[in-house]
Amino acid sequence: MIAITAAVLLSPVERVEHPVVLIEDGFISEIQPRAHCSIPASARMVDFGDAILAPGFIDIHIHGAGGHDVMRPPREGLPAMEKVLARHGVTSYFPTTVTAPLDTTLSALQRLADIIEENRTDSKDCRAQPVGIHLEGPFLSHTRRGVHPAENLVPPSIEVFDRLWQAARGHVKLITIAPEVDGALEVIREAARRGVTVSIGHSDATLEQARAGVAAGARHATHTFNAMRPLSHRDPGILVLVLTDEQLTADIILDGIHVEPAVASLFLKMKGPERAVLISDALSATGMPDGHYRLGTFDIQVKNGKCLAGETLAGSVLTLDRAVRNAMQFGNFDVQQAVRAASLNPATATGISAHRGKLAAGQCADMVVLNSRYEVMQTIIHGHAVNPNSVVGG
């Protein structure tokens, strides 16, 4: 048993002063204020002093990091990516595809399914764990495709969706789809029936077309404002629904590049601390120097934090710990609200909150330790510390 103490714990729905977190076999067994907790004599004590304990961050939209792209073999490159994520507080993630030739996507999904099915819960090689796949493309709008290659977009059909689903062996947890494209509503209904969170995005939908997508089962929105029909007071389009519909959670890239901070503040106010989700949309260049990198089948140039394919924005080098701090800076979220947007909210939106996204008895012992500047001091995954010199889980 391990007993972890710190100054504050953010569950994130509750705040506990001077907490004790008891961990057994990689899961949280109990959380109590120190004054009310009887710590077993056999427990290994770890005191983080004045630090903050929070749930590990969950990135549901990430294409790569550490020089590795999730669409490209060999799979041996993923540990470098997962170590970068863990250093920035991410304990779980959804490897995210980008539109490519269908055979390429099917092969990538098979590799990702293999990795997800590996049982690493007893490993002390602490890296962020893939817990589901985000299928971004190929069912996107040609008008709002962003950098997704037009020649590889495919009209939505249950037949193609099933091929993707079978290749991923049911590990698709999130799919981005443009609801206005012919055939999309049928795929939305079928994906939702299979337990997939359907996210509307890369879309030129009118307000009515977006409403039809929600009526069919969509419950989330992908990188709000980016690759979406712009808001107009006479032609409100998809954005009005994304910002105002309480059925929808929605995510955003808070790097200060994809969305101007004042507009990001509007998003955070409209969706609020319960429905706003922070994502990175990070590329293989994350944690790497400026230069040329790959996203799926095409080249990206990274300079001064901006990722471009030609003149088009193409993902980011944002990390979720930075996004949490930016939510506090741009939108006046407090630390508890910002942490929630990077942990419980993505877990709830994608149906994985039974064991991830919050600090509570029965949850995976996935947590991040933050200092007074809200920087990551330590990441703990299934009870083991990322820092190999740490006594946690040693």
Query: What is the DSSP secondary-structure string of 280-301?
Result: --B-TTTTS-SEEEEETTEEEE
Residue 297 sits at the vertex; the CA angle it makes with 97 and 76, to the nearest 5 degrees, is 65
**For the purposes of burial, counting CB atoms within 10 Å of the CB of 252, is it exposed (0-12), middle (13-18) or buried (19 or more)?**
buried
Round to whole Å and give the CA distance between 227 and 120.
36
- The whole-angstrom distance between residue 271's C-alpha and the CA centroid of its chain comes to 17
Query: What is the DSSP secondary-structure string of 107-135?
Result: HHHHHHHHHHHS--TT-SS---EE--EEE
Among the residues of the chain, which ranges form H helices? 78-87, 102-117, 158-167, 184-193, 207-216, 237-244, 261-275, 320-331, 335-341, 344-349
385: closest CA among 169, 141, 83?
83
Beta-carbon count within 10 A of 133 CB: 29
**Strand partners for 33:** 19
Q: Which of 281, 290, 334, 366 is catalytic?
A: 281
**Annotation marks residue 235 as catalytic:** no
Q: Which residues are catalytic?
A: 281
